[in-house]
Structure 1
C-alpha cells in the first residue's frame, strides 16, 4: 500500500510540474535555446529598438532581434503584398503608422495577433485613451502603442514681440487671424506656412474637433460641419493674406529658415527639426496650444504616431509580445526614444526629469512638459481603410479654398468624389 501511495504521489508531482510549466501561456522564452525575431521599422526607430534588445537580453539571453530598416512607403508596400498572399513574406512584427492600422485589421484581422488576448489590457491605463483607440478594432487592440505626435503651434516669439502680439491672448482662431494681420503688417512674415502637397494641417484641425475622415459606419466626414470649419480656416487666412503655401517638405523647412512664417502647426517632433536645421534661430521659438473653434474648448490634437503589430504567422509570437511589452512600458527605453527625437505615449515616463528640463533652443522653456500635458487632452479619432482618399481630397480642398472657392462647395465636391471612388 505504501508503494502504491508513493507511486501515485510521484505521478501527481510530475503532472503538477508539467502544469506549472504551461501556466504562462507559452510566454517563457527560456524554453527555447534561441529566439530569433525580425521587425520592420523606419530609421529613427532602429537604434532605440536595438538598444532595448540589448537591455532585454540581460534577462533573456536567448532573445535575438533583427531590425530591417525601411521607410514607411516600403513598409506599406511590402505589408500589402504579404497580407494579400495570406501572410507570406511578413516578418514577426512591424512598426506601423497608427492611421493605417485599423484599415489593415479591418480587412485582414486573422493576420494580426490580438494584443488584448495576449494580455495587454492590464497596461491600458498607462497610455492615453486616444492612443488606445487608434490601435483598436471592435473592442480589441491589435498593436502595442509606441510614439505619438501631440500638436502645438510653434511660433516665433521675436516676431510676435516685434508686432506687439502676446501669444497668451490668442484663444480662438479669430484671435489667431487678427494676430496674423498685425504680424504681417509689421514684420512682413505670414502667420502660417504649410506644406501644400500634404494634408497635415487639415488633418490636425479635423482631429482637434474629434473627427477623422470617416465615421465607423463608413460615412464620409468630408462634407461635415467639422470639415467646413477646417476648410474655412484656410479660406479666412487666404482672404487676409497671411498664409504661405510651401510646395513640399523641403520648401516648408526653407520657409522656417527664411523667416517667411511666424507659426508652424505640427507635432512635437518639430523640436528636433528646428534644433538641427534652423540652429541660428535658437532662443526665438516658443510653443502654444491650438486656437479653439467657436463653441468648442478643444485646443489639442495629434499628428502621426506609430505602434507595433505582431503577425499571427510568427513562430515567436508570445516571445515578441513579451519583448514589446518591455519596450513599451520601460521608462529607461522610452527615455532613450525621447532622446532620439521620438515622443513616447507611455504616461509614467512623463514623470521623468527629462520632461521638466529647460530646452535652450526654446529660450530655456520646458517644451517637452507642454507636450506631455497635451497627451491626455487629445480627442480620439477613428481611422479607416479609406483614410488615404480623405487625405487626398483634403489637399485638393486646401488648394481650392485658397484660390477663392467657397468652403462648403469645395468640401461637397470632394465628398462626391470620395463616394464615387468607394462605390
Structure 2
C-alpha cells in the first residue's frame, strides 16, 4: 500500500514538473510568423496552461533587435527567437551567453532527427543554440507546358550538360524569348551558392577556420554558370524581376529552395496545373542532385523567464510531425524533421502542381544535401562574391579559378581567416 501511494505521489509530482504554465512571446516575420501561429492549437492541446503570443516584427527588425538585445545582456528579448541559418553564427560568435544551450533541456535526443547540414550553423562544439526549423532543399520548378512544346522531357535532364541541351531546345522553339531561368547577377550570388553547395564547397570550410571559395567544387560551380550564360539560357533579374518573369511565362524554370513553392503558387494562381518539380541537375553523371538555400531555426534567449514553456513550444513546433506538417500544409514551410517526410500528407498529389507528389520529390533530397558553414562572416563573403561573379561573367577574369582566387584574397583580408591550401 505504501509503495502504491509513493508511486502515485511520484507520478503526480513528475507530471506537475513536466507541465509548463504561463505566457511566452515568440518573435518571427511574415509567413513564418503565421506558420508558427498555426501550431498553437495543437500545442495548447498538450499544454493548455501556456499562452503563446507570436509577434511579427519583420525579418530585418527581428535580426536587428536580436543583436541589440544580446548586446544589452539579453534585455527585451522574447522567449523564442527566430533566426535564419545563414545569420545564426553572428549571434553565437559575438554573444556566446545570449542563448540557451538546448541540449541542457533535452535537445540532444533530436540530433539524428534532422539532417546533419541543418545542425552545422546552429552548433558550437557540443552546444546546440537553436533547433532546425524549415529548410530550403533546392529543386527545379518547371513549366510543364513550355517544356512539352519544346520537346523537353524532364527524365532526360540528369546533369547540367543535359540542362543546357534542354535549354537549347527551348531557345529554338521560342526564338530565345523564353529562358531556362533567371539569375540575380549583380544583385545576388544564389546560383553560385546552390551549385557550390551541391559540389560540397562553400565560402568557408565546415570548421570555419579557412576560406575555401577557390576550391575545385566552387570553381566547377562558377564555370557551369558561365556555360549557362554563354548558351544564352538565363536572363538577369532581382527578386521581383524573377516573379514577373514567371508570371509572364518568360522563363521555363525557376531554381530555388523549396520554400519558393509558396511564392510561385501565390503569385501565379492562374497557372495551376502547368507547373511541376524535378531534382536539380548534377555536376556530372551520377553526382549529387541536392543542395540547400535558406532555412531558419528557433532559439531560446537565456534571459527568458519561462524556459520550460519556451522549449516545449519549440519542441512541439519543430520536433513533431504534427507541428511541421501543419506549417507545410498551410504555408509551404518545408520541414527539416526527417520523419515528416514519411507523413501521409507528403505522399499526396498536389492539385496546383498537376497532382504531382511534389513534397515527396523535395523532401527525398534532404539526406543528400552537403553541409555548409555560413560562419559569422557570411554576409561579408556574399557581398564579395556578388561583385566577383558579375565581373567574371562580364569578362574581367579569364577563368573561374582566377576569379575565385581574387574572391578568396578579399574574403581572407576582411575576415582574417587564411585561404585553404
* TM-score, length basis structure 2: 0.89
Paired with 2:194 and 2:354, the residues of 1 have a C-alpha distance of 26
Q: Is the 8 A contact 2:208 2:375 kept in 1?
A: no
Paired with 1:139 and 1:210, the residues of 2 have a C-alpha distance of 23
Paired with 1:55 and 1:291, the residues of 2 have a C-alpha distance of 39
Q: Is the 8 A contact 2:259 2:334 kept in 1?
A: yes
Q: 1:135 aligns with which of 83, 107, 122?
A: 122
Which residue of the partner structure matches residue 146 of structure 1?
133
Superposition pairs for residues 177-256 of structure 1, below 5 Å?
A: 177-187=164-174, 188=176, 189-196=178-185, 197-215=187-205, 216-246=207-237, 248-256=238-246
Q: 2:406 aligns with which of 403, 408, 413?
A: 413
* TM-score, length basis structure 1: 0.89
Structure 1 ranges of 4+ moved more than 4 A: 16-21
Instruction: Provide the aligned C-alpha RMSD in A.
Output: 2.4
Q: Which runs of 5+ in 2 are unaligned?
A: 417-421
Superposition pairs for residues 1-80 of structure 1, below 5 Å?
A: 21=13, 28-30=18-20, 35-80=22-67
How far is the alpha carbon of 1:18 from its aligned partner? 9.2
Superposition pairs for residues 381-400 of structure 1, below 5 Å?
A: 381-400=372-391
Q: Does 1:283 align with 2:276?
A: no
Q: 1:376 aligns with which of 367, 380, 384?
A: 367
1:324-359 Cα distance to aligned partner (Å, 9 max, x none): 112223323222101222111222222222212212
Q: Aligned pairs, how many?
A: 405
Q: Which runs of 5+ in 1 are unaligned?
A: 1-8
**Which secondary structure state, in structure 1, belongs to the residue aligned with residue 365 of structure 2?**
helix
Q: Is the 8 A contact 1:222 1:390 kept in 2?
A: no
Q: 2:259 aligns with which of 262, 269, 289?
A: 269
1:211-260 Cα distance to aligned partner (Å, 9 max, x none): 331122431122222221121122112221221101x2111111111222
Q: Is the 8 A contact 1:211 1:382 kept in 2?
A: no
Superposition pairs for residues 99-114 of structure 1, below 5 Å?
A: 99-114=86-101
**Which secondary structure state, in structure 2, belongs to the residue aligned with residue 223 of structure 1?**
coil
Structure number with bigger Rg? 1
Which residue of the partner structure matches residue 294 of structure 1?
284
Q: Is the 8 A contact 2:201 2:215 kept in 1?
A: no
Paired with 2:339 and 2:73, the residues of 1 have a C-alpha distance of 38
